[in-house]
Amino acid sequence: MSYYLSSENHLDPGPIYVRENGQLHMVNLALDGVRSSLQKPRPFRLFPKGFSVELCMNREDDTARKEKTDHFIFTYTREGNLRYSAKSLFSLVLGFISDNVDHIDSLIGFPEQIAEKLFSAAEARQKFTEPGAGLRALQKFTEAYGSLVLCSLCLRNRYLVISEKLEEIKSFRELTCLDLSCCKLGDEHELLEHLTNEALSSVTQLHLKDNCLSDAGVRKMTAPVRVMKRGLENLTLLDLSCNPEITDAGIGYLFSFRKLNCLDISGTGLKDIKTVKHKLQTHIGLVHSKVPLKEFDHSNCKTEGWADQIVLQWERVTAEAVKPRETSEPRTTAQRFYGKRSRAEAPLKCPLADPHMNSSEKLQFYKEKAPDCHGPVLKHEAISSQESKKSKKRPFEESETEQNNSSQPSKQKYVCLAVDDWNLLNSY
């Protein structure tokens, strides 16, 4: 950047005034000889050659720039002109609180409609993905609104999300459906112990397929229900399939789930299947299904609630964190050359997920008096079925009373606690 300026070697003194007899006179003729003696003006550079100037402005950070533009809404007219209008005071206050949502003391008693808008604003700013602050903000919402934040949570095959966001997952309350299939938790995982907490006593559907569970894990999960009558006492659906370490002894711990309507124990280490079928039918009234039940196709459990998009954000953040770096590209190309696939490229498949699997290998049970296990029933069909069963109701009740009388001594057997049970209760 350069330009020329017209100048002279000697500075021009300008007009000269002389005061004479109280009056000012301008003297011009005195400079005629001087100007004639001056050389012709020549241009000169303001900066020497090779000098470059970079135009730098005072750059503000993004937060300061947002504060200036966040108060306005910019739109375009039909003519293509830019038009801006000021935001409402409510939206400005909502944005300020969502930026500082982790500093809120409590939201108990706050209106749900405003809280949902505040949650959405904080979610748009990705406040719940921040370490530390995101957990504190999420706990404020879950303790105040419970199932509105999340009523159903599907973490199927998302073991990375569980390992990275375990405390955030444990903060959810009043869940009704929880899917932890194919997460390889094991008997000693912290989340399995959290299932017996009173905060998750509202869970009615629990999927624990392919989680490396054994009889010890089932025993630990059912201990509060068997002894203290709390924990997963409202459970109606349980999926324990693809856990080969669960044996006939582990199935005996499930008899404490009196409200259980559907059970899947396919792919477990059962030896005497016929005896297990008889015990399930006599103790909790579950009958073996000859056809696969639609409750175990994992299509009913979905993430639902205000925080459904937050779970997707967690999954995206954890996936980006474990992405292979550019330095590992030569190794991956070599693996592809030799026909090998890297671990990240080969997603783990849940066993028994093949729809063409033989139905005889599946051990799925249901309660006959629970029509939900067979799908929705129309009203007129339900009325006709009730009328047809009126005549059979009395003998069925008599047989049921006989079963209850016969099961009374068996109930007394389960009330007696072993030493291991007392040790387990002391751990709680």
The mean pLDDT of 49-64, rounded to a whole number, is 51
Instruction: Give residue for tokens 């026909």.
Output: 339
Q: 86: which strand partners?
A: 72
Distance CA 368, CA 289 (A): 10
pLDDT in tens, 321-333: 876 554 445 555 5
Is the per-residue pLDDT at 275 higher than 90?
Answer: yes
Model confidence over 215-236: pLDDT tens digits?
999 999 999 988 888 889 999 9
Q: Is the pLDDT of residue 271 over 80?
A: yes
Q: How confident is the model at residue 337 (pLDDT cuts 50, 70, 90)?
A: low
* pLDDT, greater one: 104 or 404: 104
242-258 b/e with 16+ CB inside 10 Å = b? bbebbbbebbbbbbbbe
> Whole-model pTM?
0.64
Pick the more confident residue, 334 or 234: 234
pLDDT (average), residues 305-332: 77
pLDDT at 410 (0 to 100): 42
Q: 265 pLDDT band (50/70/90 cuts)?
A: very high
Higher pLDDT, 230 or 344: 230
Contact call for residues 200 and 175 (beta carbons, < 8 A): yes
Dig out the tokens for 33 from the structure. 């000889």
The pLDDT of residue 42 is 58
Supply the pLDDT for residue 369: 62
Per-residue pLDDT, averaged over 61-86, amounts to 65
d(C-alpha 227, C-alpha 166), whole Å:
27
CB atoms within 10 A of CB 261: 24
Residue range 133-155: mean pLDDT, rounded = 94
Average pLDDT estimate for 135-139: 93
Percentage of the chain exceeding pLDDT 90 = 43
Q: Is the pLDDT of residue 370 over 50?
A: no
The pLDDT value given to residue 373: 47
Domains and CATH numbers, the chain: 147-314 (3.80.10.10)
Tens of pLDDT, residues 165-223? 999 999 999 999 999 999 999 999 999 889 988 888 999 999 999 999 999 999 999 99
pLDDT score for 243: 95
Pairing of strands 23-27, 44-45: unpaired
> Which tokens in the block code for residue 198?
């009173």
Better pLDDT: 174 or 28: 174
